[in-house]
Chain A
């Protein structure tokens, strides 16, 4: 009992912010179920979220008791288990709700969870071990091969599900941890360049210009790179430009539409543009102070898509107004800044990397989720930590928080 007390008494203020956010999340999920039309899906799910939240508290307390060394030792086995889970998901996985066509869930005796959530933590831990083994940090492209490969495996498995939202979280984790692992910023940019090349290839002229600029900058940056590396970067970019079209064609229609609609939401107002338009209407009509808790008309009349999961923040915007959204954004900013500070204070490189990996995952979730509700980023099925409905995600987020806090206390 004393240890439980200590786990909480010694917890940083960030934990209490998360606690408040989780309670706020349950409240918003309750509101998401208050509709003027029959809503069997969302009516009583707040109770389930509450149970998961309590489980999260228990998990947090439990993880806080584990010696940090155990966490470090568990990294590799956890990674292997995570990968196995992901592979299993592709075989026996099921979809759910509006994402019925994907294979993201595994059911175990009436209990359903997303293996990708486990894999995220496991990957963070494994990557932290890998990078922390090098005291000097990652200095060139060759040194990036192993970390990238370590993340690419679960990333690829997640894309196969397909779950682009979680895939983005993995990319966030990779870049955050490479950065914290001491990779110089230009190197990170080079790493990201094939991705950029992929996007820019929609226009041949723009893409050609980009390749020229890239080649020139490689030339000026040459003293830091091996020739092989420069050539590899250029080749990767050329390859990206080449596969762009087949890749685009291989996308499912809804994925293409989401990207097109991001560029112009009026392209298909009744179809793919629907979600973003309705979400913006909800948020915008909330105004400064909002329509009041549970009073959002867009939500009540079921205009909001996925109002309890991916678009929960639209409900926040409609019912609590700018006051509510800015407070929640500030709360998230506070948590993120505190994570960075926690990482900066960790003398142990492994601890710092784990914390920063969690930071990378969360900032991706937060920015992409909130950003998409207001049209800042394309729509991706990615939940908002602690607020969106989703049991295993909430539980794993609390465990991640506990891991971050626990490893930081090691020194």
Chain B
């Protein structure tokens, strides 16, 4: 058939129609399958292609002091983050970021490890990147695919070093912490690798309150992983800020303590509010700056802190234990009065002649010249060992241990801090047998050592402060608390002390800072000051210096208890007492609206040549005998009986 014959043409055309129908039909079917039948899958894939979920960090709760001054808050900071991607891509991007962020080899390796471990999470390359670095990266964003500059609240500690031990510091959650049930079973599921949490102090103690709840949001990325914009389609999740907390701490007082505490000295200061036992100041020297920890502490800085022999991270106020020495004599007195074994006005039968014979041993008083016959008031005032030896013997070892245990000299105060050392104090008479250091059966004579705060006894400054709190109050001592709460804290202990007995003890303490008292130079213009010095031998090093004091308006109830210990401070009256007085003065002046002056104690008036006419009104304590032998302004220089004064303070 000829090609141009109509029938031939038509039959070939039919083949053409068929081919068109088949091929176009195939295309139609393929598109129907992709766009109608399987569309949902592809839509999901399109989303995962272009959307990346990012965390929205939640700010931590703010920490306030008792006057609602901010102690720790958050300021905007920038973190440099890489979006999840293939490991090789991440490595490449890190290399490219390196010169801009000054990343070390070790840091890059660590980041790569992290990227391996958590391949689906954004990788935080640098937190708290300096503004210069951030602005350079922001400007050249298109050159750094996968880069994300995240606004991340940055912790700020306004009081810096002054409050380091109270507030603690932050750090990244460790693998061990991740497995602790406290974090692993968090009801809000807030803890995962990379979470920043409190490592110490309030930040740790109230971590669960302070920690916020991170939110999430979606961003759209282009084919190179560059963020194009935020995605409006899905709302994501709002970040919930952490809860605020209010502390009993008086920030200005704390800073004042930091200011007056000699930088070169180690020690601690604890100030308690007499009213409720709230902690007004809790200071340990040397200290550190918790701001250094924000965003990860530099390795060098961390090692310096750890290797420093002065142990700046160690919170001496609650972790350090020191033989209390003379400051503990008040405990012996209080226990004796509680048990009713003496009357306050009773004079001990044996006069102090510079020492006392008990059994085959002669135990000395610090004053070799002797104090003669003394009642409780005089004994406290003069810190007479002989009186307290006898008082201890009268209480008896068994009862002293029982009562001391009841007060908790071998327990923790229960302050709301992550850790607290419990005091060292024998819980019963078998202690001497059990302890290798002694290894013998206790004799009744052991009570003589303990009665003057020596022997197997070491206490934290906080515990000593809690004990003085009872004397400043009505014999009861609530547990010291950092967190300000509506209701008074539960727990604590109480001694059965009559107002007269309390007044006698206070009068004895008052005498210490009156003319003729060892700490007279610490006396203050406006306030009724009471206190007890303590000097603890610490061979071969210089002695530790204690001062435990109470202060309040004249003629009124005591308002503040301050305990100071200065390691190697040599003299309780010369070093520790002025610190205590200045602390109390600062607090009370502000509380009662009297302008604060840097010349506070009588000693400072003398040294600066500032007249102190008010000193004339201070009289020697009541009942002080004439011709009181006072001539040792350096301190008591207590002689230690044999077997005591090991100077163990930890």
Seen from chain A, the residues whose Cβ lies within 8 Å of a Cβ on chain B are 36-38, 132, 134-137, 179-182, 185, 270, 278, 280-288, 297-298, 301-303, 317, 321-322, 325-326, 329-330, 332-333, 336-337, 340-341, 343-349, 352, 356, 359, 363, 367, 370-371, 374-376
Contacts and interface: CB of A to CB of B under 8 A. Distances in A.
Contacts of B226: 37
A356 B16 contact: yes
9 contacts: A37-B226, A137-B1, A182-B3, A185-B15, A280-B34, A280-B42, A297-B50, A321-B35, A325-B31
B49 A303 contact: yes
Contacts of B13: 340-341, 343-344
B23 A374 contact: no
Contact of A329 (B27, B34, B229): B27
Given A283-B34, A301-B228, A326-B28, A336 B220 contact: no
Contacts of B10: 344
Nearest to A37: B222
B237 interface: no
The 9 closest A-B CB pairs, nearest first, are A284-B42, A344-B13, A340-B16, A285-B46, A322-B35, A333-B24, A302-B223, A301-B222, A287-B39
B42 A336 contact: no
Nearest to A348: B4
Given A301-B49, A302-B224, 10 more contacts: A182-B3, A282-B46, A301-B222, A326-B32, A336-B24, A340-B20, A344-B13, A352-B9, A375-B30, A376-B26
Interface in B40-64: 41-43, 45-46, 49-50
A284 B12 contact: no
B3 A181 contact: yes
Interface in B186-229: 220-224, 226, 228-229
B338 to A, nearest CB: 80
Contacts of A284: 34-35, 38-39, 41-43, 45-46
B46 A332 contact: no
A286 B226 CA distance: 23
Contacts of A180: 12, 16
Given A301-B221, A367-B27, A36 B229 contact: yes
Nearest to B223: A302
B17 interface: yes
A298 B221 CA distance: 10
B174 interface: no
B625 interface: no
B31 A326 contact: yes
A160 B216 CA distance: 54
Interface residues of B, number: 45
Contacts of A326: 28, 31-32
Given A281-B46, A337-B20, A349 B3 contact: yes
Contacts of A344: 9-10, 12-13, 16
Nearest to B25: A333
B38 to A, nearest CB: 6
Contacts of B49: 278, 281, 298, 301, 303
B361 interface: no
Tell me if A's interface is mostly helix, strand, loop or mixed.
helix
B142 interface: yes
A376 B86 CA distance: 29
Contacts of B9: 343-346, 352
B349 to A, nearest CB: 97
B36 interface: yes
Given A322-B31, A322-B36, A329-B24, A135 B142 contact: no
B222 A285 contact: no
B618 interface: no
B220 A370 contact: no
Contacts of B39: 284-288
Contact of A137 (B3, B16, B24): B3
Contacts of B591: none
B625 to A, nearest CB: 94
Contacts of A270: 86
A303 B19 contact: no
Q: Chain A CB within 10 Å — which of B16, B21, B26, B223 has the most?
A: B16
B46 A367 contact: no
A26 B502 CA distance: 100
Given A285-B45, A288-B35, A329-B31, A347 B24 contact: no
A363 B4 contact: no
B2 interface: yes
Contact of B20 (A347, A363, A371): A363
A301 B228 CA distance: 8
A42 B35 CA distance: 26
Nearest to A337: B20
Given A280-B34, A301-B228, A376-B27, A343 B20 contact: no
A363 B19 contact: yes
Contacts of A37: 222-224, 226, 228
A51 B32 CA distance: 34
B28 A329 contact: yes
A26 B23 CA distance: 25
Contacts of A297: 46, 50, 220
Nearest to B39: A287
Given A179-B12, A281-B46, A371-B27, A347 B4 contact: yes
A295 to B, nearest CB: 12
B8 interface: yes
Nearest to A283: B34
Given A281-B46, A288-B36, A376-B26, A136 B15 contact: no
Contacts of A329: 24, 27-28, 31
Given A301-B222, A374-B30, A325 B46 contact: no
